[in-house]
Amino acid sequence: MSESDIVIVHAPLTNSTFHLINRSSLALMKPGGLLINVSRGGIVDTDAVVEALQTGQLSGAALDVLEMEPDVPEALLSSGGAMLTPHVAFSSDASSLNCAGAQLRRWFVC
């Protein structure tokens, strides 16, 4: 983490990955780094991210998932460096058609 300008989290949420990204790990990053979480909310300690944004340790955090969904902490909303998106890429029209097509192909395969 100390060599990265951007850290992207792709991991399952397990007992060993809960709060994997926390105050200690964020302190290892270069000041002004960017954190992106597209895996599971519990992997990232939201309070630590808010603190890192407020101190400038992070210049931004792009969070596709949150620790306590659907609740968004006011401190995160007002931090100015957070970009929050819904974790719903699977629900696009294209993916719905693709999934439906896959189901149909399974039914008609001999």
Q: Considering only 2-6, 32-36, 103-107, which range has the smallest mean pLDDT?
A: 103-107
pLDDT of residue 71: 85
105 dihedral zone (left: phi>0; alpha: psi -120 to 50; beta):
alpha
Q: Which residues are catalytic, by number?
A: 40, 69, 87
pLDDT of residue 92: 66
Mean pLDDT of 63-68: 90
Which residue ranges form the domains of the chain, and what is each CATH number?
6-107 (3.40.50.720)
- Tens of pLDDT along 46-58? 999 999 999 999 9
pLDDT of residue 101: 59
- Tens of pLDDT along 85-96? 877 666 666 666
pLDDT at 108 over 70: no
